Amino acid sequence: MADLKPHLKGVLRPDFQWGYATAAAQIEGAWNADGRGESIWDKLGHTPGKIKDSSTADDACRSYDFYKEDVALMKSYGVRAYRFSLSWSRIIPLGGKDDPVNPKGIEFYNSLINELLANGITPFVTLFHWDIPQALEDRYGGMLNLEKYTPDFLRYARVCFESFGDRVKNWITYNEPGVYSLAGYAAGVHAPGRSSNRELNEEGDSSTEPFIVSHTELVSHAHCVKMYREEFKPTQKGTIMITLHGNYSEPWDAEDPLDIEAAERAREFEIAWFADPIYKTGDYPASMRAQLGDRLPRFTEEESKLLLGSSDFYGMNTYTTFYVKHKKTPPELTDHLGNVEKLENNSKGVSRGTESDTYWLRTCPWGYRKLLNWVWNRYHVPIFMTENGTTAKGEHLDTPPADPLNDTHRIEFFNGYLNALASAVKEDGVDIRSYFAWTFTDNWEWAAGYTDRFGVTWIDYKSPERKRYPKRSAGVIREHFEHYIAKE
């Protein structure tokens, strides 16, 4: 049941966009159909021992085949918008600036976009959600090579702007560049699977590569935005931004200056790492430079100018909050957190929140509101919430639910987070313009395979058509936004 607060009625702007977010690699399936090339996630998924349940995304949710049914279901949920990503290797199978475009890939996304618009749903399109073509990884190491990668990414972006920009007016360059870097090049558990841990990965250097790859993402993002603004925006009249990850860090001991400083440093290492160059200074935070030294790449003067202001809005993905404690020992060479310890309970034994079905994710709406304020006060850029959601225990059923699945935990999560969002707008003056819940359907959740169910729609993975079953949370989210959004 939706926990609607009377004093929050109508606090969101009339043109507020809400809906669900997805990623191509997690839902489409049809991994080698109609000319699609291999991505780094296809390779990792087909490598034994890399995915928790030994599954692949070969079929995933079969959204490639059932996109019309998905759009109809979204419409029944009352959404205004849908954020999805494009598969680079479906559009340019080999990925490069001189490689051929796949007409079938263009045709699929044109059909999806047209279906959304015909049903009154606004598309928000992400160019890159972690699935670089494997051919580029093989040719030159992918994002480890800024000089070779950038023209390939720009050509891919150009094809997308030319093919879809007459109808798509909301573009996102990268999704969570920091997670891509850290999970893929520091921990080595995500594609392309590189790290200093030789028991897990054959190649990689966790002390340098995450920062090199992130630098590539930032610089190529800036060039992409410049291209869009100069060549496409005048006629297409769209907007373009980047989406950054970041969970809130709260001091373990709220009265200890070292923990207070550590929590701020943790936010800078996680969020300001990307946000400061784009929205504040054109450079990395001083706290990162102090710890990392020359392992943190440097922007040229031209790159800094290109980066600053290179996102029309602040795209924000967040899920939870951690208590953060200062480490008394010097930082390790492979530290990417700012030399802090993350804890479940604070110095007084207070938990950070109710457990979900995912080890790191706990419900913490008060931390979410604090994070919205921290981002707004630091950058003063309108926020587009592009991902937020949770798993819930007990959803791995042997048979499909007879009625809408009563996902109480997820309902409580959205009740707390959505009321926190509306309160941040009304009481704190934060400018928030969208909310995309993660996610529309249960999906292939990267290295977790099918063991994490984030959807507001339950998927029967045993059925050939991946039959969809609504969960009660979908209706609760709709009630919230019908309550919050002001009538025109």
- Helix then strand then coil, in percent of the chain rounded to 5, is 40, 15, 40
**Active-site residue, from 209, 268, 387, 412:** 387
Whether residue 255 lies in the annotated active site: no
Whether residue 301 lies in the annotated active site: no
Phi, psi angles (nearest 5°) of residue 439: -150, 180
CA distance 73 to 95: 32
- Three-state helix/strand/coil letters over 112-176: HHHHHHHCCCEEEEEEECCCCEHHHHHHHCHHHCHHHHHHHHHHHHHHHHHHHCCCCCEEEEEEC
Q: How far, in whole angstroms, is CA 227 from its chain's centroid? A: 23
Beta carbons within 8 Å of 10's beta carbon, 6+ residues apart: 484, 485, 486, 487
Q: How far is CA 89 from CA 1, 33, 37, 131, 242, in A?
A: 42, 11, 5, 8, 20
Q: Dihedral (C-alpha) 125, 438, 481, 82: value to the nearest 10 degrees? A: 20
* Beta strands 457-459 and 468-470, pairing class: antiparallel
Q: How many CB atoms are located within 10 Å of the residue 68 CB?
A: 13
By C-alpha distance, which of 460, 480, 461 is closest to 470?
460
Q: How many CB atoms are located within 10 Å of the residue 4 CB?
A: 17
CB 135 within 8 A of CB 74: no
- DSSP state, 440? S
User: CB-based burial of residue 426 (10 Å sphere; 0-12 exposed, 13-18 middle, 19+ buried)?
Assistant: middle
- DSSP state, 455? -
CA distance 370 to 362: 16
**Active-site residue, from 28, 176, 209, 303:** 176
As a whole number of angstroms, the longest Cα–Cα distance in the chain is: 60
CB 24 within 8 A of CB 175: no
| Catalytic sites, residue numbers | 176, 387
